[in-house]
């Protein structure tokens, strides 16, 4: 019987990356314009990669794109699967295991998030300094495969300071409004209640979303350096009078594509 590790290796072999990428990028909901920046792109639909999980959420594409930005060799996930779709944590993190197999040393992960911090505004970017895993599950639960990493990995600096510094510089370069803060991961798929948002604020969260943390856990398990960036698409529930919708999230995400792609292009070159 093939193990999870074997399935990852099978996907890595199928992708057959001749030039090994050094940086991986995960593009969140409605944040895929960055792929247009990639030189010499090689696009592989997820469905053509063995064992790769495929999303069915509207607005979430599913392509792996290998290529270059300047001298940096990168591999980009345009679209990801989410825990709320019903996937197991092992499926949500499978692509990250594959990116590591392709050779990445650094992962830049992006997402759309709601602002818990009342000083943040829609359209701001937030460099993730740390996270709260508020989902009672963990991708490392179960037997540990030492070929990936240790049983009890350290998470003191999940989001590397060096990577945060590079993101900050890239944000200045793109003249973006860049904040910093803690990302709280909730399972979704419903948006939070105002009471939950107050709870999150009490817990020390600055932004909330339904992704990223599983991928970061898997990446850190394998010793990959992580940089995380949230696009603040809305104030979290109860902060403004308006109700929340996926359309609003997509609309705001669409509006910041220009500074975002500029910031990401700059960041991947310094992270490489």
* Chain residues that interact with ligand HPA, rule: CB under 6 A: 112-114, 191-192, 208-210, 233-234, 236, 244, 249
Q: How far is the CB of 112 from ligand HPA (least distance, A)?
A: 4
Residues with catalytic roles: 29, 60, 82, 84-85, 112, 210-211, 234, 246
Say which residues have a Cβ less than 8 Å from residue 138's Cβ, sequence separation at least 6: 89, 217
Two tokens, residue 112: 């759309």
Q: Which of 264, 260, 253 is nearest to 163 (CA)?
A: 264
Q: Which is nearer to ligand HPA, 233 or 270 (CB)?
A: 233
Backbone angles phi, psi at 169, to 5 degrees: -60, -45
Residue nearest to ligand HPA (CB): 114
Q: Which is nearer to ligand HPA, 102 or 184 (CB)?
A: 184
Q: Which is nearer to ligand HPA, 146 or 247 (CB)?
A: 247
Residue 175 — left, alpha, or beta (φ > 0 → left; ψ -120 to 50 → alpha)?
A: left
Q: How far is the CB of 263 from ligand HPA (least distance, A)?
A: 19
H helices within 16-175, ranges in order?
Answer: 89-92, 94-102, 161-173
Q: Which is nearer to ligand HPA, 105 or 246 (CB)?
A: 246
Q: How far is the CB of 210 from ligand HPA (least distance, A)?
A: 5
C-alpha 188 chain-centroid distance: 16
Q: How far is the CB of 169 from ligand HPA (least distance, A)?
A: 26
Could you give the CA distance from residue 157 to residue 226 in angstroms, rounded to a whole number? 9
């Amino acid at each position: 019987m093939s193990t999870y590790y074997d399935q990852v290796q099978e996907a890595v072999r199928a992708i057959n990356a001749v030039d090994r990428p050094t940086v991986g990028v995960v593009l969140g909901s409605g944040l895929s314009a960055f792929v247009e920046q990639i030189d010499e792109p090689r696009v592989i639909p997820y469905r053509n990669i063995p064992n790769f999980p495929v999303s069915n959420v509207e607005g979430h594409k599913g392509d792996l794109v290998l290529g270059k930005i300047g001298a940096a060799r990168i591999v980009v996930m345009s679209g990801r699967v989410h825990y709320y779709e019903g996937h197991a944590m092992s499926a949500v993190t499978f692509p990250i295991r594959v990116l590591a197999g392709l050779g990445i040393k650094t992962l830049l992960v992006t997402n759309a998030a709601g602002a818990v911090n009342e000083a943040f505004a829609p359209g701001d970017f937030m460099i993730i300094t740390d996270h709260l895993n508020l989902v009672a599950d963990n991708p490392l639960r179960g037997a540990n495969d030492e070929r990936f990493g240790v049983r009890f990995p350290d998470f003191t600096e999940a989001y590397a300071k060096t990577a945060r510094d590079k993101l900050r510089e890239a944000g200045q370069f793109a003249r973006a409004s860049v904040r910093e803060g803690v990302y709280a991961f909730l399972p979704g798929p419903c948006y939070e209640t105002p009471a939950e948002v107050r709870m999150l604020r009490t817990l020390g969260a600055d932004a909330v979303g339904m992704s990223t943390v599983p991928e970061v856990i898997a990446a850190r398990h394998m010793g990959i350096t992580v940089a995380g960036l949230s696009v603040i698409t809305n104030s979290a529930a109860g902060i403004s009078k308006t109700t929340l919708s996926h359309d609003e999230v997509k609309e705001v995400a669409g509006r910041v594509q220009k500074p975002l792609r500029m910031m990401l292009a700059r960041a991947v070159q310094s992270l490489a």
